[in-house]
Amino acid sequence: MEQAYKNPLRAGLISRKVAEPCTVVVFGATGDLTGRKLMPALFNLSRNGHLPQRFAIVGYARREKSDAEFRKEVAEALREFSRNKPESETEEKDFLSRVFYQQGNFDPAGDYGRLRERVEEIEKTDGLPGNRLFYLATAPEFFTTVTENLKNAGLVHAVAPDKPWSRVIIEKPFGTDLASARELNRHVQSAFDESQIYRIDHYLGKETTQNILAFRFANAIFEPLWSARYIEQVQITVSENLGMEGRRGQYYDTAGALRDMVQNHLFQVLCLIAMEAPASMDAESIRDEKVRLLRAIHPMTVEEVAANTVRGQYGAGSVNGRPVKAYREETAVDPQSVTETFVALRLFVRNWRWAGVPFLVRTGKRLPKKASEVAVIFKQPPHQIFAGSEFQDVRQNTLVIRIQPDEGIALSFEAKQPGLTMKLQNVKMDFRYGSSFGQPTPEAYERLLLDGLLGDATLFTRADEVERAWQIISAVLDSWKQLPPPPFPNYESGTWGPAEADRLVEGLPNGWRRI
């Protein structure tokens, strides 16, 4: 039989998403986030063909600076922080030629008028259609001011078919409690339509976090087991071995672990692990299910908070063999601070799928290692035939989703050891992103910036989702004000947090999972 004709030109075609010609305006352009994450992400998107031939990046900040000075800083950032370095001087110059700088304050309305003139001038010169993505990499107190002034200066296009689009990406934290989140939503929605607002959580841009959806809903073997009938508990851990590097203590001492990590990062992971299957993979279907899941987690009473939460603050100790100081001794931290650097919660999802299953969430600073993982721990078989002293080490099946480092998924189960006697041993099936696909994974900000440019809001949080998460967290914060604080510091740096956290896993086999 004659072989079917194949077009050799099609073999090299790669299916990739490419944004429309647009202008990206970054507020807080001289800050650490812009240099370390945003500019490298935009450069990598450009060199991999995800940005169009025509685009512009305008940095906006308060310092006096020329285009040439800003481009030099961007070039240095790319060489230091980008996962792909510019391969040639031509490639670097081509990218930098699309980078501009506009000096201005965040408050005065007049500076936004000058920004509009500069953006319109660049768009006219480069033949850009007027599509604009605004990125707020500023301190949270400027979110309201910037969005309102963008609207008042005429920089924001109204939503209309076949017209230029405007979108805004807002960094965390989005509020500090329920009241402030609602107020911020009100202000931002007065300047932008909800469909134009992209509240970012970089955890959702991580490959392993996104893979939770694929793992759960593209494979038939696990979904029938994904309920209280077979799962005993779920543990979600985000541990950090760092403390308050630089002057981060100035922000952290007003936030704490609960606000900084649980309300956003850990709740996002919890939603993906526990939500029901969406009707489709479109943004609204997924976000609907996440909100429905959060509504099934009831805000706790003072008594429930006392029973189901544990706070900690690190003292002096040693991490990786290096002595470190206590939190209260860190730069810009109140010497009498009662801010928590560790928090553990026991949460319950009150629906049919998860009734009675504890979701154990913990995060902390100055722990022994940096790691993020989800451990789904299954129940023991209903009738244990492998009983007796020779089977004492029979362990529960555990599915571990490693978010960082060594991204991957591992499933542990019991197997018979080779030999003439029936002895069991716990073994693993281990999938690792790095070895399985043989290619580097993109940075989270690359995926999220591209989705913002494409208008895909799947990995961004919606207003009602933010407010529901804060409703749960605010109940804890309000209860803590009525409860006596622990005797801080109450855990040594380099340990896994306060000993009191063990009471949250009382009655469960094996306690907290060792990472």
Cβ–Cβ < 8 Å for 467, 181: yes
Helix (H, G, I), strand (E, B) or coil at 312: strand
CA distance 93 to 104: 25
Q: What is the DSSP string of 34-79?
A: IIIIIHHHHHHHHHTT-S-SSEEEEEEESS---HHHHHHHHHHHHH
Cβ–Cβ < 8 Å for 368, 241: yes
Count CA atoms closer than 13 A to 65's CA, side-chain side.
23
Cβ–Cβ < 8 Å for 368, 494: yes
Residue 107 amino acid letter: D
DSSP lists the bridge partners of residue 402 as 373, 408
CA distance 340 to 212: 29
Total number of residues shown for the chain = 515
Q: How many Å separate Cα 221 from the centre of its chain?
A: 28
Q: Is 27 left (phi over 0), alpha (psi -120 to 50) or beta?
A: beta
The residues that are catalytic are 265
Specify the pairing of strand 314-319 against strand 322-324: antiparallel
Cβ–Cβ < 8 Å for 155, 112: yes
Write out the two tokens for 113.
């008028």
CA distance 275 to 54: 40
Cβ contacts of 182 within 8 Å, gap of 6 or more:
175, 467
CA distance 481 to 128: 53
Cα dist from 232 to 355, 356, 412, whole Å: 11, 9, 15
Nearest to 136 by CA among 182, 95, 71, 184: 184
End-to-end CA distance of the chain, in Å? Answer: 58
How would you list the strands of the sheet with 322-324, edge to edge? Answer: 322-324, 314-319, 491-493
